[in-house]
A and B are shown apart, each in its own frame.
Chain A
């Protein structure tokens, strides 16, 4: 059994983050020391590594909690996890598409602004952004 500080050192995660994970139900102490300090077992370290890897793949903490629950559920199968991975890939691909569209829009604005020495009041990029805002429907 290890203290929160040791767990933080083992996993390269701050104490505050570990407390947050606990608050979010992602980890829980296995017991308490006689002095009342939280104590964690080795499974907590494994869970934290799992959380970090899943975050790198784009999963939110809520989704990670769901994955951790699946991991411990007897009736869950690989297909359940795979379905979540496919959905995450769809979300990432969708974001990439949106980012590409934004990048393309910026390319156009950059190309249209050919006069770098022009005063900022005449900046075509700012004017275009203002136009885009003005043309937005008010609901």
Chain B
């Protein structure tokens, strides 16, 4: 998840979404990425709004999803990888 430091909405929801992702897909690797320290990576991945969630190298959400939206996306991607 790419975020800008000081974003209250991001901080509030980060832990909740991280936990939801881990509960949904075992072994999922979740990274909280400060965009100011990783501007090149963000640009390379096509992140232009914050917060954004990138899954498997693709921008999946350009704003904070609900837990249900995130879980659905993770399940669909896991399914398509099998």
Contact = CB atoms under 8 A, between A and B. Distances in A.
B31 interface: no
Given A86-B35, A86-B36, A97-B43, A91 B7 contact: no
A82 B5 CA distance: 9
Interface string A82-125: 11001101110110010000000000000000000000000000
B6 A90 contact: no
A90 B4 CA distance: 11
A112 B23 CA distance: 54
B48 to A, nearest CB: 5
A73 to B, nearest CB: 15
A80 to B, nearest CB: 9
Interface residues of A, number: 11
Contact of A86 (B4, B40, B43, B44): B4
A82 B6 contact: yes
B49 interface: yes
B6 A89 contact: no
Most buried by B among A79, A82, A83, A91: A83
Nearest to A78: B6
Nearest to B36: A86
B49 A87 contact: yes
Nearest to B46: A94
